[in-house]
Amino acid sequence: MQQTATPLSELAPGLSAGRVHWNLSVPELYEAALRRGEGHIAEGGPLVFVTAPFTGRSPKDRFIVEDALTSSEVWWGGFNTKIAPAAFDRLYERVAAYLRDREVFVQDLQVGSDPLHRLPVRVITESAYHSLFCRNMFVHPAEPALPEFTVINVPSFRADPQRDGTRSETFILINFSRRMILVGGTGYAGENKKGLFGVLNFLLPAQGVLPMHCSANAGDAGDVALFFGLSGTGKTTLSSDSQRHLIGDDEHGWSDAGVFNFEGGCYAKVIHLDAAAEPAIASAAQRFGTVLENVVMREDRTLDFEDASLTENTRAAYPIEYMDGIVPGGLGGHPQHIFFLTADAFGVLPPISRLSRAQMIYHFVSGYTAKIPGTERGVTEPSATFSTCFGAPFMPRHPKIYAEMLADRVELHGSKVWLVNTGWTGGPYGTGRRISIADTRRLLRAVLAGELERVQWRREPFFGLEIPTAVPGVPSEILSPQLTWADPQAYLEAANRLARMFRENFARFTPDLAEVAGAMPDPTR
């Protein structure tokens, strides 16, 4: 057991615990989790936890303390909900009293692999499971540093909305002045990771660094590609390419020196995990040290990745070193190519198209994908989802700030930006078919190899997207969605409908981003 010279109360005034475990190793955290009845070991060695009833994040329960530091800097509304400093202080005092006689686990880590832009953090949890998750997901500092932000996570503590000013018994409170995140009422470990991502999304732009909700990889020559996308669009899958080297699978910064990973691990969605299509992820998900969330384990301790009875959002959290061929240190150069991934369940968008500057800003701020039946309770037909900057719940500042930072960097470094549909073709969900991972990989590899520099292009009428007429190794008909539909009129109606949804969503941004109005789709054709 590694001790530390910094007591809990130095960074968290008034905080103490009956027993404190400092920076336990993976085997020690296994022992503690099993002793406490938090999880079970599955075949191969991963530790399986059930977080029900919370099997995903609770973005509506996230609050930012409004004070002199945040009042004029945060884009209030949507997922950025205000809470008063006094309310935070009262709830903090109640949590501190709750932990006074309890067992806690502490990890001193850092977020950010770039030494110039790292954030040393301390994570204090009441469960060994969360401590192991954070040890897997964050960066282990080469040299100890006094933490600059503290996360206190107490899943078994419930807020009192009437007393505490929260929406429910669950709470995720971010206090930038006190450099602290307070989490309670939920066992879902992803709140630790995304809470700190939100912190970096507020802090880094002031340092001239663009924070990004994207994965990243590099070729043998060091050429970097970024993959933006919401859950289910293929961000993790497509960046984990056997022909390239993984920088990171979810969160990155883009500084004057290049791209750097925020994390030291991967948090892969593993429902319907296909070992043939995703061998590296399948291998990592079944190793000792890996944390599995809400994956069903059979009586013989084998894993059933097809079983979604607990949730569609089954996850594996493991150190990035469990992946073959990674980029050591999580650092890369400036990206040559940037892919915006969307899983269009309406079957309208082409599998690949290249974007102008205005289109890049428009689609980045729109952050479109679609939900399909079964992914969430109550979703019975495809529905459009728009998440600004492909990560609305984690973006404290106005989307224009992130969009203009991205556009300026793309222009400065000559990056090329592409819209990639990993969703449906030949019709909407239920009628058409999903574009195969193999076809999408072939398209991306063609881009990365420069093959699309030698093909002809045509312009799609509804979104004004430039589409290649042919790509070697890919069926030409899928490049033009309307050609894959059996009923041309049905395609026109679907395209018009999706174009209208895009325009309706973007109306709230038009006053601040009027210069990209020409990139908006035309639903009148």
What span, in angstroms and rounded, lies between the C-alpha atoms of 363 and 392? Answer: 13
At 109, is the secondary structure helix, strand, or coil? strand
What span, in angstroms and rounded, lies between the C-alpha atoms of 525 and 461? Answer: 8
Evaluate the CA torsion angle 390, 395, 400, 405 in order and state its sign: negative
- Six-digit token string for 195: 């809470």
Residue 193 falls in the annotated catalytic set: no
At 514, is the secondary structure helix, strand, or coil? helix
CA nearest to 11, candidates 112, 137, 96: 96
Residue 269 falls in the annotated catalytic set: no
Residue 239 falls in the annotated catalytic set: no
At 117, is the secondary structure helix, strand, or coil? coil
At 77, is the secondary structure helix, strand, or coil? strand
- Six-digit token string for 26: 């993976």
- Catalytic, out of 4, 6, 16, 231: 231
- Catalytic, out of 118, 122, 235, 269: 235
Spatial CB neighbours of 514, under 8 Å, sequence gap ≥ 6: none
- Catalytic, out of 122, 193, 213, 334: 213
Task: Tell me which DSSP letter residue 139 carries.
Answer: B
CA nearest to 388, candidates 514, 515, 253, 509: 509
- Catalytic, out of 117, 118, 178, 194: 194
- Catalytic, out of 241, 250, 344, 439: 250
Q: Contacts by 52-56 with C-beta closer than 8 Å and gap 24+?
A: 52/294, 52/310, 52/311, 54/170, 54/186, 54/187, 54/188, 55/188, 55/293, 55/294, 55/310, 55/311, 55/313, 56/188, 56/190, 56/311, 56/313
- Catalytic, out of 244, 245, 315, 371: 315
Residue 82 falls in the annotated catalytic set: no
CA nearest to 381, candidates 508, 274, 460, 497: 497
Residue 236 falls in the annotated catalytic set: yes
Evaluate the CA torsion angle 68, 70, 73, 75 in order and state its sign: negative
What span, in angstroms and rounded, lies between the C-alpha atoms of 296 and 307? Answer: 6
- Report whether 141 contacts 5 (CB < 8 A): no
Residue 35 falls in the annotated catalytic set: no
E strands present in 112-176: 119-125, 149-154, 171-175
- Burial (CB count within 10 angstroms: exposed 0-12, middle 13-18, buried 19+), residue 322: buried
- Catalytic, out of 57, 269, 371, 397: 57
Look up tokens 């949730």; give the residue: 311
CA nearest to 421, candidates 403, 407, 433: 433
Spatial CB neighbours of 122, under 8 Å, sequence gap ≥ 6: 11, 106, 107, 108, 109, 147, 149, 150, 151
Q: Do strands 19-22 and 103-111 pair parallel, antiparallel, or not at all (unpaired)?
A: parallel
- Known catalytic residues? 57, 194, 213, 231, 235-236, 250, 315
